[in-house]
Amino acid sequence: MGDTDVTTDANAPWLIVGLGNPGPEYAMNRHNVGFMVADLLAERVGGKFKRAGKAQAQVIEGRIGPPGPANRRVILAKPMSYMNLSGGPVTALRDFYKVPTANVVTVHDELDIDYGVLRLKLGGGDNGHNGLKSMTKAMGPDYHRVRFGIGRPPGRMQVADFVLKDFGSAERKELDYFVDRAADAVECLVIEGLERAQGTYNS
């Protein structure tokens, strides 16, 4: 699928998935930026994550957007299965909440984009990202992605080592701003659609 909107039921809920690994040792890793954005969205919704029944995930149900037709029901989720098994919990939540696949949004780290830069799109490949690979295997590629740039590893550092390291001190100075902007982009995507969100946040 290309970067185009897919028409779905206007009243259908949205499933917003932040990708990461559970556990305090991973909390500030580059690979966990999806969790960081999900946590900020949870603050905005005014809820606390709780375990989702049989699904290996933590969820919050809430609403975003102004009162009226632009108001959207959302389920925020953080898979607790570790990154490379994200597809199972996400698919279970999609099916339980009856969310169209086109209303699934995943927020994840992206190596091939400079730090802090955002790219929003619908569908596409996984670019070697294990979380996306698992999701696509479980439910196909036609879900939205909010790609948060982390840049490439320096020198000869292995990709796996780079993504599982904490953001550096210089990066942390701007991290809150970039996470806030990514949360804004998710809200814009859900409320106003992909084209408007791309025009505003694809930098």
Q: Would you please indicate which residues are annotated as catalytic (active-site) residues?
A: 31
Name which of 197, 200, 173, 16 is nearest 107 in CA terms. Answer: 16
Q: Which residues of 75-88 are buried (b: 16+ CB within 10 A; e: fewer)?
A: bbbbbbbbbebbbb
C-alpha to C-alpha distances, 94 to 11, 101, 124, 148, 151, nearest whole angstrom: 15, 7, 19, 23, 30
